[in-house]
Amino acid sequence: MGVELVALHWIYLLFIMFIIGFMVARKDTSLVCIAGIFLLAAVATHSLSAAVSGVFNSFIYAITELLPTILVISIIVSMSKVLSATGINDVMVSPFVRLIRTPAWAYWTIGILMMVISWFFWPSPAVALMGAVLLPAAVRVGLPALGAAMAMNLFGHGIALSGDFIIQGAPKLTADAAGLPVGDVIAASVPLVFVMGAVTTVTAFYLLRRDMKQGRLVGGDAEIAAATDSALEKTEGLLAETAKKWLALLIPVLFALDVIAMFYLRLQGGEATALVGGTAIFILILISVLAHRQESFAEVTNYFIEGFQFGFKVFGPVIPIAAFFYLGDAGFVKIIGDYLPQASQGIVNDLGVALAHAVPLNNEIGAVTLTIVGAITGLDGSGFSGISLAGSVAHLFAVAIGGGAATLTALGQIAAIWVGGGTLVPWALIPAAAICGVDPFELARRNLIPVAVGLAVTTVVAMFLI
């Protein structure tokens, strides 16, 4: 059964093309996104006032959806400020500096640890843990902060989240939509997840090393070291060396206890992130009281202010583009109203269904189509909202082809999550970008070639497995 496409669908698709074009040209997309929101609202409601209000309401919706991420990033940055100001960060990093001696070791160590932690607790808390403990060590041995962010993205939001072997949230959604046992989808996804992961991370590492050798991308070692040394000079004597050593030991222990608590209490996603964020708050308070004593009341507030200033500065450019893409899913009804066709599943999902019905059916076309459908549904930035559609389309293709349902389902799932779960869509990869202090749009551009190569190779492999 087809789906009715109306003017709203074509306007949305046109503005997606504009946004991608502007990103490729390294132009800011905020104005394009605002124009897209206004036009969608105007066409839907036929009201100028409703269109103007729709722009503002879309911003409120985007901020509401992003607020937990903004909050945890701001808190982690606040904690990092007090660690740097007291010199604890330097003491805490020194063991890792001895272990991580080269940028290559830093890249693969951060990536593999990120993947393992993300399998158990999903990537958001893993990003916070990696940023607090390993990022400074990686930067000091010459790995650019952008390289660290790529490792976090590709291994955590890419490999771990697209397979989701432990928590099984993603395969459960796609399996239910495809009418398959979840075990079948997981089994089919294993070779595809690891092909995608190996190709993408190796390609990214090769391009990273090439640009470092050619001087187009340099490590932030000197800059970070200078900033740290300057901070230490200004705050010399805030804490005794013994106190620094004990606190440098206590902080990783507290975060390790968080990991244990996540495992035994079965905390996942937002709950796990909240535990990490709450721990960071208490670490900030404890160190501030020990270092600043009677001035700690004011200093705690100052550290929070610095963290929130950083968080909103980083997220400011992202809110307009997130607001536009949220209109592609459930956000449309909540922001503008119920103006889509009666059978619509959201603009993005409707476009995916229309694509699936517009192509011929065989193994090769089926694999390519599932990759494209998955990638399109990932454009809303969650990675999860459209994977049920990927499962449904996979079922439709499998019936026509005569098999391969589990492989097609897994392929659609992988494409949707790699694109929308935090490696290509700028607001989805904000956590890693913010923790590493890099531009999310530059990180998205850096990830584009490795992810595109990975999807192409994985799609070809899937053709032989169907």
**Structure tokens belonging to residue 99:** 């272990």
| pLDDT digit string, tens, across residues 228-240 | 444 444 445 688 8
Q: Checking phi first, is residue 3 left (phi over 0); if not, alpha (psi -120 to 50) or beta?
A: beta
pLDDT score at 288: 94
Per-residue pLDDT of 69-125, as tens digits, reads 788 878 888 888 888 888 887 787 677 667 788 999 999 999 998 898 888 767 876
State residue 236's pLDDT score.
Answer: 53
Length of the chain: 466
Distance CA 384, CA 173 (A): 8
Helix boundaries (H) for 214-328: 221-234, 241-265, 269-292, 296-315, 318-326
Burial of 451 (0-12, 13-18, 19+ CB in 10 A): buried
More confident residue, 434 or 168: 434
Quick one: pLDDT at residue 460? Answer: 96
- Mean of the per-residue pLDDT values for the chain? 84
Q: What is the pLDDT of residue 2?
A: 58
Q: Which residue has better confidence, 228 or 244?
A: 244
- pLDDT band at residue 457 under the 50/70/90 scheme: very high
Distance, CA of 308 to CA of 280 (rounded, Å): 14
Calculate the alpha carbon distances from 232 to 89, 178, 382 in Å.
10, 58, 40
More confident residue, 133 or 51: 51
User: Could you tell me the pLDDT band of residue 427, with boundaries at 50, 70 and 90?
Assistant: low
Confidence (pTM) = 0.71
CB of 418 closer than 8 Å to CB of 158 = yes
More confident call, 171 vs 194: 194
Is residue 115 a contact partner of residue 156, using CB atoms and an 8 Å limit?
yes
